[in-house]
Amino acid sequence: MEYISTRTPNATPATFTDILLGGLAPDGGLYLPQHYPQVDGATLSRWRTILDQDGYAALAGEVLALFVDDIPAQDLRDIAARAYNTQNFASPEIVPVTELGDGLYVGHLSEGPTAAFKDMAMQLLGELFEYELARRGETLNILGATSGDTGSSAEYAMRGRAGVRVFMLTPAGRMTPFQQAQMFGLDDPNIFNIALDGVFDDCQDVVKAVSADAAFKSRYRIGAVNSINWARLMAQVIYYVNCWLKVTTSNEQQVSFSVPTGNFGDICAGHIARQMGVPIDRLIVATNENDVLDEFFRTGNYRPRPAEQTLATSSPSMDISRASNFERFIFDLVGRDAERTADLFGAKVKEGGFVIEAADLARAREEFGFTSARSTHADRLETIRDVQQRYGYLVDPHTADGIKAARDAQAADGVRTPIVCLETALPVKFADTIAEALGEAPAIPERFAGIMDAPRHVTDLPNDVAAVKDFITRSIDTTEV
């Protein structure tokens, strides 16, 4: 299995471990497998037995082996076992699935150490980084951006690991108090929190600008944990397989997924699972008021918005107006035409966006299974109340966006297959919105007791690439890992 960039035709393919440590491709594109591995009925049946008998980590080892051939299979199984266990996750199932009713299910991705779906990929990524860096005798300085949950998940996965530093950019004042407490409360010598004067898209732009400086990136060993890193998406493919297996009893049954998303990473993993042959019917893109992706799947117009037009909402992890992973899907949609993809994302996006042809939009819906919906603050409050009253289940605002989109798909698009709504986080992370919806804040789980009281460790910086580079340089020069 080798990997190619979305932007350079006929480039020399790269190995998995090379792109694991590198993140963004040198041409500014994103890595994807040269081809998606295909799974047949026999493989799905074998995976069903493995999940039933040996659990999530064993299933993970099987899926990973399809994408990674430069790490021995037994080492991959050991890596998965270290990532997915009850030391890291609150449930022995790792990703339980709950049936709500009316054709709706919840896939629980919030059982990890930071109570967010990002833990599913980050715990694996931490193990992969430590393994490969030790094998090479190298160090890595991770630069990332977060709109809420990626940062804490990355930091909890990387804290204390040999050979790794983490520099995480956050949009100043744009995360909930609980999310800030999770990140800024960490006092580890290899963790550096940066509050940038801007929105998430500004943070993401700084990460891309630093990564695009080849000399700086090479000299200071800059790597990525954002979903531009292929290993993140690879890890997320596993829970789509897990959820499909848990909802079905035979390989003939299809399942749909409703996925709250702003950066397109979570649902892009579902696209990959579907392309592999996992029997997925519809992929439902759920957005909040920052509805760039919903607009695209309704009209074919991809219109990224500037920072000043990115709204602060009650589902803040989706307050994103430029979806980095969207390039991966468009690459597939245009027949893996790297030259065209480079023009769309390297030029057209900088000029304000692009519009795809009607035939391509139809293929996105019919061949690739995508549909979409938009949710507002009022929708979230109503969904949180209704799900609590109807099913006795409490959801966070982002998952409420997903459930609202799933119901829209049932009503407007006639989706009749079971829909798994991917839960993004525990409600405690968004206590103010839960209190507004229900009249009282959710209880803080015992495993997070005292988190709001810890001292804060964060550096405020301007929205300036040079200032961030200077901070990285000074920090590397003064700390050992």
Catalytic residues: 118
Task: Say how many C-beta atoms besides its own lie within 10 A of residue 42's C-beta.
Answer: 9
Tokens at residue 263, please? 């950066």
Alpha-carbon distance of 188 to 27, in angstroms, equals 34
**Count of residues in the chain:** 481
Compute the Cα dihedral for 113, 472, 266, 394 and give only its sign: positive
Alpha-carbon distance of 154 to 191, in angstroms, equals 10
> Are the C-beta atoms of 94 and 61 separated by less than 8 Å?
no
Compute the Cα dihedral for 431, 144, 92, 251 and give only its sign: positive
**Of residues 327, 318, 328, the one with CA closest to residue 294:** 318
Alpha-carbon distance of 173 to 171, in angstroms, equals 6
**Of residues 267, 464, 347, 449, the one with CA closest to residue 7:** 347
Q: Tokens 């694996």 label which residue?
A: 124
Name the amino acid, one letter, at 299.
T
Alpha-carbon distance of 316 to 59, in angstroms, equals 32
Angle between helix 292-299 and 358-366 (nearest 10): 110
Alpha-carbon distance of 423 to 394, in angstroms, equals 11
Task: Say how many C-beta atoms besides its own lie within 10 A of residue 450's C-beta.
Answer: 9
Name the amino acid, one letter, at 445.
P
Alpha-carbon Rg for the chain in angstroms: 21
> Are the C-beta atoms of 333 and 259 separated by less than 8 Å?
no
- Facing residues of 255 across strands? 280
